Amino acid sequence: MADCQVNTIKEHPMRKWQVRATLLVVAAGWIFCGSMAQANGFYLRAGGSLEGSEETRFKDKSCSSTSPAALYGCGTGNDGAPKGSLGDFGTMAGLEIGVGRAVAPAVRLEAVLQHRPSFSFKGRANFVQTTARQTVSADLSSLSGMVAAYVDLPRLGLSRFGPFSPFVGAGVGVSRIDIGETRMEFPRTATIVPGGQQVGLAHMLMAGVGIGLTETVTLDLGYRYRNSGAAETGRATGRIVWHDGSRDPLELSLAETRARVSTQGFWASLRYTF
């Protein structure tokens, strides 16, 4: 990691495409919910999810950045892989609430808000300065809003399986991921990387079954793949801390790092139709 001076960093404004995407989803949700408020037969859905993340790597947004300094730099690490921190976000528990309606005999549209209040990144870095274990950890949370479409397969003429009514679906929207300080542990020191917030496009694919409990209440069980965009550390001042206190902390002006957040797992919810 290159030496650098401590300086005052201004936050980057949200990219234009992110602003457009956010406005598009908000407008779609507004129109969608407005039309539902005047229609009969809409539904409310609430539930939770338990998903596991795919393996991912935090790496520099720009490995050649010198002011502020790139955290990892370009090239390969001590394991022959690109420089970065390899790991995953573990198992994530989430809550979600949606409002929707049937827009065709087999098609439902839904506006859904999803919140994962707490999950963690655990991994290891591959800096070339040492071959000792280099553990990396950070705490995160995410909030996403999507517009989803579901196709109820029996309404297309496919057979039901007893009380089970299979469906498939897909959704697109925006996701905000907040990441706290990243702590990188080395034999003699620890490097603290500032947290950050990132808003970006998100999408999901799912399949499941609806189980009718009453005429108005349905239990939905499903499996879902979700790409929530990227988690991104901030452009700000980090620091190196010596475990034995032999030196004062060293401040470093650091550029952003990022990693993709993709998950797969199960979700369950109750759907109440009016």
Domains of the chain, residue spans: 16-60+80-188+196-230+261-273
- Amino acid 162: pLDDT: 80
pLDDT band at 178 (very low <50, low <70, confident <90, very high): very high
**Using an 8 Å Cβ cutoff, are 62 and 74 in contact?**
no
Compute the mean pLDDT over every residue in the chain, rounded to the nearest whole number.
88
Q: Using the predicted structure, report yes or no on whether residue 9 has a pLDDT greater than 50.
A: no
For domain 16-60+80-188+196-230+261-273, give the CATH number: 2.40.160.20
- Amino acid 218: pLDDT: 96
- Amino acid 8: pLDDT: 32
What is the C-alpha to C-alpha distance for residues 83 and 78, in angstroms, rounded to an integer? 8
Q: Using the predicted structure, report yes or no on whether residue 110 has a pLDDT greater than 80.
A: yes
Provide the strand spans (E) within 126-244: 135-152, 164-179, 182-185, 189-193, 196-212, 217-232, 236-242
Q: Using the predicted structure, report yes or no on whether residue 231 has a pLDDT greater than 70.
A: yes
- Amino acid 40: pLDDT: 58
Give residue-wise pLDDT tens across range 38-77.
445 699 999 999 999 999 999 999 999 999 999 999 999 9
Residue 160 β-bridge partners = none
- Amino acid 4: pLDDT: 35
Query: Rounded to two decimals, what is the model's pTM?
Result: 0.82
Phi/psi class of residue 246: alpha, beta or left (left: φ > 0; alpha: ψ in -120 to 50)? Answer: alpha
pLDDT band at 37 (very low <50, low <70, confident <90, very high): very low
Residue linked to tokens 């650098």: 4
Give residue-wise pLDDT tens across range 132-154.
889 999 999 999 999 999 999 99
Structure tokens at 156: 């297309």
- Amino acid 131: pLDDT: 83
